[in-house]
Amino acid sequence: MTMHLMRKLPAIVALAALLVPAQAVAHPHVFADARLEIDTSADGRVTELRNVWRFDEVFSSTVILDFDDNSNLEIDAAELSKISEMVTQSLAEFDYYMNVTINGKDVEISLPEAIKVDYQDGQLLMFFAVVPRKEMRLSGKIAVGVFDPTMYAALDFINDEDMMVTGASASQCARSVVRPDPDEVIAQNQASLTEAFFETTKSSDLSKLFATRLELDCK
């Protein structure tokens, strides 16, 4: 292992923790403020699901310092591009941390462009849009959650307004933001939440129970 790679190892491990599936952990180690916009067309379709993640300063400083190739204490375009390429490729197999359903059935999504990465006011930002692979009509009950299935990172929608519907058909559906109560989740799933559960069950099942989600009731 070269000294150059050894210097980068902490940031690579930190980023990999966001991108690689693992057993459930007791609590998140990386925090990000998130925003979701579901854009709609005039004919009642979902056109894009836009995401912005602003990571906490501790995680951001680790990533920035370790990807600062020229050691100028700044992240230039080429260095940001490396981070962008890494997260774009890795998050693809996890649907970019997005869970979209219509009437309880999963909706497949794809990324139309690379995940963009920026560094502002001491924090790392990632922003991107995903699109439904097939036509997605505003019909029935739609639920959208954005969460890390490994529970290593916490994506926090601080205000209900951080999960919005925009575009020409935004008023077609009744909108609600659901924030599951951890105590209620634990009480309702007490039989499953055992040591064996954490060892044998996919953590995505657990993280989905706790994740904030946007629910649309469309006519």
pTM (predicted TM-score): 0.81
Give 164's contacts (C-beta < 8 A, 6+ positions apart).
36, 37, 38, 175
Classify the C-alpha dihedral 159-18-51-40 as positive or negative: negative
Query: What is the DSSP code (8-state) at residue 75?
Result: -
How do strand 153-156 and strand 163-167 relate by DSSP bridges?
unpaired
Task: Please give the average per-residue pLDDT across 59-85, as a whole number.
Answer: 84
pLDDT in tens, 133-185: 999 999 999 999 999 887 788 899 999 999 999 999 999 999 999 998 777 76
Task: Please give the average per-residue pLDDT across 42-53, as a whole number.
Answer: 97
For the chain, the average pLDDT equals 82
| DSSP secondary structure of 114-168 | PPEEEEETTEEEEEEEEEESS--BS-EEEEEEE--TTSSEEEE--SGGGEEEEET
Where residue 125 falls among pLDDT bands split at 50, 70, 90?
A: very high
